[in-house]
């Protein structure tokens, strides 16, 4: 049985994952208005992935007999100067999610909640992959540049990007 402080913290993480999904959805919409279909597709996939992360925690809470509390979400940012700024904002978001996961792991260890600690290890690895992917993409974008042809190349790269390729 989960302790109350762990239930509260996991519910906060549900909100964080939902907010991340919401942010990526807004980023995808921004990309579409810029005619960056590859970037939009990438961000729509990211939004779906964050929703899956949220649902995984919701299912864990339900399976543990805990109550899930869904919080209201704010309006995400919808204006970005360029695609690099968009991805730098996404990286900041991933870093915040990673820090939150780390706090959950610390709480699980403090509570001697070994099942939750084990559950959270998937998130620890996932966040490492997410941060690495975003950092590499930002580096590539800066290398390619945002001039006409460079922006086209970036958009094409994002349309095909799969994080697993980065870890091979």
The boundaries of the domain holding residue 108 are 4-166
Average confidence (pLDDT) per 10 residues, the chain, 168 residues: 96 97 97 96 97 98 96 91 96 98 98 98 97 96 93 92 56
What's the CA gap between 163 and 132, in Å, rounded?
9
pTM value > 0.85: yes
Per-residue model confidence (pLDDT) at position 132: 96
Instruction: Kindly report the CATH number assigned to the domain that includes residue 35.
Output: 1.20.1260.10
Per-residue model confidence (pLDDT) at position 164: 57
First to last CA, the chain: 38
**Number of alpha carbons in the 13 Å side-chain half-sphere of residue 152:** 2
Q: How many domains does the chain have?
A: 1
């Amino acid at each position: 049985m989960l302790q109350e402080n762990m239930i509260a913290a996991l519910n906060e993480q549900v909100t964080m994952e939902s907010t991340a999904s919401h942010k990526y959805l807004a980023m995808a919409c921004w990309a579409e208005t810029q005619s960056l279909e590859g970037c939009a597709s990438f961000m729509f996939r990211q939004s779906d992935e964050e929703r899956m992360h949220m649902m995984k925690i919701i299912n864990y809470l339900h399976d543990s007999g805990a109550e899930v509390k869904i919080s209201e979400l704010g309006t995400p940012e919808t204006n970005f100067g360029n695609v690099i700024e968009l991805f730098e904002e996404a990286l900041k978001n991933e870093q915040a999610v990673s820090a939150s996961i780390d706090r959950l792991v610390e709480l699980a260890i403090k509570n001697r909640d070994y099942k939750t600690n084990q559950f959270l290890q998937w998130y620890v690895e996932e966040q490492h992959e997410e941060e690495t992917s975003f950092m590499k993409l930002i580096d590539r974008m800066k290398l390619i540049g945002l001039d006409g042809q460079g922006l086209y190349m970036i958009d094409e790269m994002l349309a095909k990007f799969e994080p697993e390729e980065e870890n091979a």
